[in-house]
Amino acid sequence: MNEIALRYGMNPHQKPARAYVETGEMPFKVLNGSPGFINLLDLLNASALVKELDGATGLPAAASFKHVSPAGAAVGVAMSKEVAKASFADDLEPSPLATAYARARGADRMSSFGDAVALSRPCDLATARFIRREVSDCVIAPGYEPGVVDVLKKKSGGRYLVVEADPSYEPPEMETRVVQGVTMEQPRNAYRITDKLLSNVVTKRKDLPESARRDLLVATVALKYTQSNSVCFALGGQVIGLGAGQQSRLHCTRLAGSKADMWWLRQHPMILGLKFKKGVGRAVMNNAIEAILTETRQDPFAADAWKETFEERPPTLARDEKRSWIEGLKGVSLSSDAFFPFRDSIDRAAESGVEYVLQPGGSVRDKGVIEACDEYGMVMACSGVRLFHH
């Protein structure tokens, strides 16, 4: 089969819509549900990301994709009890692949609501059970263990989209895009992300521990499949903050940094100790946590609205308490899909615990950016490789 009908195109009024290949077979099979245009954009990009991330690290990888950019991506590194609880995964069944997806989902749980899930290895029951209880639209994996598809079919009233990727598929060397009737052609971005990108360390400090090398690879592979401009923060084998699709490098860094701060604040003892009412859904919990951590008012819940969600009135974190906690975030890795034109992004990154940086370099102000890294005691490598994705 080299063509499938889609529910609709980018929007419901864009009908009919289809997906097809010019030659050969489709590189995936639909095992359940009916894909839409955006589903396939997310699934195909996400599948390529996790395949490359697994190849770069040798670890099972997962991604949580929304609107053609990853909300999170991770490899199967064991979680601390704090990270697991903040990710709503403290009861996770033992499985490196399930851990990878729990980490990917936990990077930015607000943005992951209704995501496309991508897995680098055949989906096991532990991962399927975790996916089933989360709000997501679809999943792609290079296979499914016995009984897994039946578990996933129970989502969304039986309409949950389950797609099996062909693990041996390699896209054609050339790719095209049609915009307003104009066809553009280019070689696909087949540049392989490896730790060779980390060899040109330009700062006074030179040491790159294995954990940082891994995290820089995680961040950089994620950027390769993120709408540009983009900056990614990573720690512990996972994305913890990603600023995608911004017109300014500083705004990318601010967005990624604010998400990393939120990821870290979710591990504050006060947040981990919140007492939610029995039966409150995870999405409602996420919204409540977000309200507590972002509101500047003394009480983010109007009147007695908290009673709908909590067993008791939740405490609040003052601005100085939040800042003090964020100062405990250390050892973060940052990757940028293009060079830093000014030092301002480094200044912002330092506020969120960044210690290791990878960027292409090549700006006329590289010297000032390197000096900024030296001031903060950071290690920075210049890869010479830009990774725009549009």
Q: Show which residues are catalytic.
A: 66-67, 229, 390
Residue listed under structure tokens 């939040």:
322
| CA nearest neighbour of 266 among 117, 390, 84 | 84
- 311 is written with which tokens? 């067993």
CA distance 57 to 159: 34
| CA nearest neighbour of 109 among 337, 322, 285, 335 | 285
- Pair 76, 61: CB distance under 8 Å: yes
| Residue type at 12 in one-letter notation | P
Where are the alpha helices (H) located in the chain, listed in sequence order? 37-57, 81-86, 96-106, 125-133, 148-153, 210-224, 249-265, 269-272, 282-294, 319-326, 344-350, 366-376
CA distance 96 to 58: 12
Which region holds residue 245: left if phi is over 0, alpha if psi is between -120 and 50, else beta?
A: left
Strands 161-165 and 115-119: unpaired
